[in-house]
Amino acid sequence: MYTPQRSFFFLVLLALSFAPSAWCLEIYAPRGPSLKLRPVVAHRNSSLVPSIPARAFTRDVRPLALTLRKVEGAGIGSGGDHALSARLAARGTVGVVAATFSNQLYNVLLAVGAWNFQVALDTASSDFWLLSSTCSTAQCKGQPLYPSAYYSPTFVGVNSNLTAFNESFADGSAVQGFVARETVSLAGFQVPQQALALVQTSNSTLPPKVSGLLGLGFPRLSGISRSTSNAPPIISSLVQSGQLAYPLFGLSVAPQGTSTLSLGAIDSSVIPNVTSIEWLPVVPFSPAVNGTSTSAYLQWAVQLASMSLNGTAIPLHPTYPNITGPSPLALFDIGTSGIYGPYQDVAQIFARIQDSRLVGDGVWAIPCAGAQPLTLVFQQKNITIQPSDMLIGVVSGTPNMCLSWPVALAPSSDGIDWQFGSPFLKNVYSIFSYGIDGIEPPMIGLYPLSNVTTSTQAPQVISQALSAASATVYSTLPNVLLPAPTYTTPPYLFDTLAPSPTLGQLPLSEMGVSTYKPLITAPAITYLPTVSPPPSVIVVNFTDRSGVVHVSTSMLPHNTAVLGRPSGSSRTISLSWTSTLFAVSAALLCSALAGLFVI
């Protein structure tokens, strides 16, 4: 007998009868063809101390030196950590995203296709690579991975996934994979069909929950751009298409606070007055020998005018003074946790610190209480690195001694003498402007956060900083004094027969589209687009009836993000005959059960 109640019950069961099949099809439905695997190239071995990265470059590419020192850190999705503030925020033609600090790297949240990932920032490379689910090496285990076997409607193959990607790092690690295209979303911007590398083999150790590397360098530095047509790096894609309010990005680095990456604008919460920014022209490079690049701009490198240790001048010696000029070249690299320089200059620094000693691999040990501030001048402003930032860590077997920055390196064939990582960048707000084709050259803006040039940190402050950072190096100092090594300067990497580029020369291509109006090289810069990151803390002041002022501080809630598809997931992603049978059987069973109640 038909009744309204039975009709309703039947409809509910009918819906449930479709639910298992719909659920099964969601889990087991085919997601497109499997990605073809590309044979990988064996990585080179390293003889370097793992915790002390160094540069070793032999081609027209300068990837970052990944720091492998293990420290405690939580990533997005770990719960309760302020790092959860790293989230996408649409802001029109400007954008800002919080950067989290973990294992000496700064990481941001972005989306690739339908999946979210954290990736490490690097200003010394240009390619974007991401660990994929086809990666079988130990360094990929437990990390959120790009699910290669899932069908993504925004994925576009390149050369049937046969365009190889190989990136080697100065610490001896390497990644291999293939080039593909996907939609990438970062800080509110979306770039369809962005070229990236999906990594299948890696021995580069990334922090927990970090899945890849986002290079912020010039297109000339990109291996993907050389192997694939119309494939600029992601920031260059935004710059060349005019999507940013201005062709630049800004970095605020604060290991113990809130760090930000801003796109198209500067962070107004850090820089109240743009006229206080010091602008430095980026150094152009000649083409590599037998190279085909048409751009002169390769690295975020500038000329270093002078250096002093606690007020005492340090003589500086460029590697190729007859080619690059009398001033050393300095690279700004957020992808490294240290400071590196040429042996002859680094030795002069430590000669001025009492009881310092060379302990191997270009590393010096000094009395922890004897650390001194290092002041750099690029044009006129003093930028000082505090003593606590100059220390790598306490030597475990000799607790009164610390390993110290800078670390000395052999001469580099690209002519870059100094490499300044986070110990320097945390003392400035840095702005990286790509320039405008035919109108404005690439520039780096530095806003010093202090003008101190002599030591203001008491020994107890240095000790507290080391303790807070849990900075201990498990090492034993040698029992004898080590002699300074000798090196032979390698041949210059670039073509000395080509016309020499000039400082401040205008780019012809690959930079900001010519529709931008120049702001930085204007006679008097008074304006740049600004953006403010969302606050993480709210402070409320109120006065009660008795006139007493109360202060209330609260953490603002943050959105969380599910990162990628962790390796080891048990969800099947192919439609086999068994899964098909299961889906059909579930649907028929529920339908039959529903039919029992139909009268």
Let me know if 333 is a catalytic residue: yes
Task: Report CA-CA distances (Å) from 171 to 38, 53, 222, 298, 412.
Answer: 24, 5, 19, 21, 15
Joined tokens for residue 292: 């085909």
Residue type, 93: T
What angle, rounded to 10 degrees, do the helices at 577-595 and 4-28 form? 180
How do strand 565-566 and strand 301-303 relate by DSSP bridges? unpaired
Say whether 459 sits in a helix, a strand or coil: helix
Confirm if 395 and 404 have CB atoms less than 8 A apart: no
What is each CA distance from 185 to 112, 114, 148, 543, in whole angstroms? Answer: 7, 10, 18, 45
Residue 390: both structure tokens together? 């100059």
CA atoms within 13 A on the CB side of 184: 26
d(C-alpha 84, C-alpha 75), whole Å: 7
Q: Distance between CA atoms of 70 and 205, rounded to whole angstroms?
A: 10
Q: Name the catalytic one among 122, 127, 171, 267.
A: 122
Q: Which helix (H) or strand (E) holds 399?
A: strand 398-404
- Where helices occur in 265-306 by DSSP H, the ranges are none
Given a contact cutoff of 8 angstroms between Cβ atoms, the answer to whether 107 and 99 are in contact is yes
CA nearest neighbour of 247 among 255, 237, 239, 256: 239
Cis peptide bond prior to 406, omega within 30° of 0? yes
Secondary element (H or E) of residue 22:
helix 4-28
As given in the structure block, the two tokens for residue 535 are: 């606050």
Q: Are 531 and 94 in contact (CB under 8 A)?
A: yes
Instruction: Mark 71-82 as b/e (b = at least 16 C-beta within 10 Å).
Output: eebbbbbeeeeb
34: which residues sit within 8 A by CB, 6+ positions away?
148, 149, 574
235 backbone dihedrals φ, ψ, rounded to 5°: -70, -35
- Is residue 109 within 8 Å of residue 559, measured between CB atoms? no
Q: Which of 127, 171, 267, 333 is catalytic?
A: 333
Amino acid at 120: A
Element holding 118 (H helix, E strand): strand 115-122
Question: Cα separation of 503 and 521, whole Å?
Answer: 14
CA nearest 528: which of 382, 426, 429?
429
Q: Strand, helix or coil at 226?
A: helix
**Both tokens of residue 319?**
């590697």
122 included as an active-site residue: yes
**What are the C-alpha distances in Å from 74 to residues 83, 440, 502?**
7, 41, 45
CA-nearest of 215, 219, 194 to 293 is 219
Positions marked active-site: 122, 333
